[in-house]
Amino acid sequence: MAETERPPVQKEDSMLKQKAMINANYHALATAHERGAKVASTFVPGNLNELLMCFDLVRNLPETNALQNGLRKKSGKMIQEAERAGHSEDVCTYVKADLGMMLQGNIGPTGEQLPTPDVLLLSYTGCFTFMKWFELVRNEYDCETIMLHVPYQGDGVITPNMRNYVVKQLKESVIPTLERVSGIKFDIDRLRQHMKESAKAEDDLVWVLQSAKNRPSPIDAYFGGVYYIGPIFTAFRGTPEASEYYRLLRAEVAARMAEGRGPVTPEGDMSGERYRLVVEGPPNWTSFREFWKMFYDEGAVVVASTYTKVGGVYDFGFRHDPDNPLESLADYCLGCYTNLNLPTRVDMLCRYLEDYQADGLLINSIKSCNSFSAGQLLMLRQIEARSGKPGAFIESDLVDPRYFSPANVKNRLESYFQMIEQKRSGRGPAA
Tens digits of residue pLDDT in 341-390: 999 999 999 999 999 999 999 999 998 888 888 889 999 999 999 999 99
Average pLDDT along the chain: 93
Angle ∠(205,208,209) on CA atoms, nearest 5 = 90
Q: What is the mean pLDDT of residues 316-341?
A: 96
Distances (CA, A) of 171 to 52, 96, 150, 175, 224: 14, 33, 14, 6, 38
pLDDT at 374: 84
Nearest by Cα to 272 from 303, 300, 302, 305: 300
Nearest by Cα to 361 from 343, 344, 381: 381
C-alpha dihedral, 109 to 39 to 331 to 224, nearest 10°: -20
Q: Distance between CA atoms of 285 and 106, rounded to whole angstroms?
A: 20
Q: What is the mean pLDDT of residues 259-286?
A: 95
Quick check: 114 and 140 in contact, CB under 8 A? no
Q: What is the mean pLDDT of residues 128-137?
A: 87
In the predicted model, is pLDDT for residue 257 greater than 80? yes
Neighbours of 188 (CB within 10 A): 12
Q: What is the mean pLDDT of residues 145-167?
A: 95
Q: Please tell me whether residue 85 adopts helix, strand or coil conformation.
A: coil
Q: What is the mean pLDDT of residues 258-283?
A: 95
Span 53-86, pLDDT tens digits: 999 999 999 999 999 999 999 999 999 999 999 9
In the predicted model, is pLDDT for residue 123 greater than 90? no
The fold adopted by the segment(s) 13-186 is Rossmann fold (3.40.50)
Pairing of β 144-149 and β 119-124 = parallel
Q: Distance between CA atoms of 145 and 43, rounded to whole angstroms?
A: 13
Q: What is the mean pLDDT of residues 143-152?
A: 93
In the predicted model, is pLDDT for residue 37 greater than 70? yes
In the predicted model, is pLDDT for residue 430 greater than 60? no
Q: Distance between CA atoms of 220 and 277, rounded to whole angstroms?
A: 10
pLDDT at 28: 97
Residue 90 has, within 13 A of its CA and on its CB side, a CA count of: 1
In the predicted model, is pLDDT for residue 108 greater than 50? yes
Q: Distance between CA atoms of 365 and 284, rounded to whole angstroms?
A: 10
Q: Please tell me whether residue 284 adopts helix, strand or coil conformation.
A: coil
Among residues of the chain, what percentage have pLDDT more than 90?
84
Pairing of β 264-265 and β 144-149 = unpaired
Distances (CA, A) of 272 to 17, 227, 265, 276: 28, 23, 13, 11
Q: Distance between CA atoms of 237 and 218, rounded to whole angstroms?
A: 24
Domain boundaries, the chain: 13-186
In the predicted model, is pLDDT for residue 25 greater than 50? yes
Q: Distance between CA atoms of 229 and 271, rounded to whole angstroms?
A: 24
Nearest by Cα to 301 from 309, 292, 312: 292
Residues near 431 by beta carbon (within 8 Å), at least 6 away in sequence? none
Residue 330 has, within 13 A of its CA and on its CB side, a CA count of: 19
pLDDT at 14: 83
Quick check: 213 and 355 in contact, CB under 8 A? yes
In the predicted model, is pLDDT for residue 429 greater than 60? no
In the predicted model, is pLDDT for residue 187 greater than 80? yes
Quick check: 191 and 171 in contact, CB under 8 A? no
Q: What is the mean pLDDT of residues 251-275?
A: 95
Quick check: 284 and 398 in contact, CB under 8 A? yes
Q: Distance between CA atoms of 166 and 149, rounded to whole angstroms?
A: 7
pLDDT at 2: 45
Q: Please tell me the least confidently modeled range out of 185-189, 310-314, 348-352.
A: 310-314
Q: How many helices (H) does the chain have, and how many strands (E)? A: 18, 10
Burial of 183 (0-12, 13-18, 19+ CB in 10 A): exposed
First to last CA, the chain: 44
Strand ranges (E), 64-196 = 119-124, 144-149
Nearest by Cα to 72 from 226, 369, 289: 289
State the pLDDT confidence band at 428, using cuts at 50, 70 and 90: low
Residue 160 has, within 13 A of its CA and on its CB side, a CA count of: 0
In the predicted model, is pLDDT for residue 209 greater than 90? yes
Q: What is the mean pLDDT of residues 215-240?
A: 96
Q: Distance between CA atoms of 429 and 72, rounded to whole angstroms?
A: 39
In the predicted model, is pLDDT for residue 157 greater than 50? yes
State the pLDDT confidence band at 129, using cuts at 50, 70 and 90: confident
State the pLDDT confidence band at 15, using cuts at 50, 70 and 90: confident
Higher local confidence (pLDDT), 7 or 104: 104
Residues near 311 by beta carbon (within 8 Å), at least 6 away in sequence? 44, 45, 47, 229, 232, 233, 234, 336
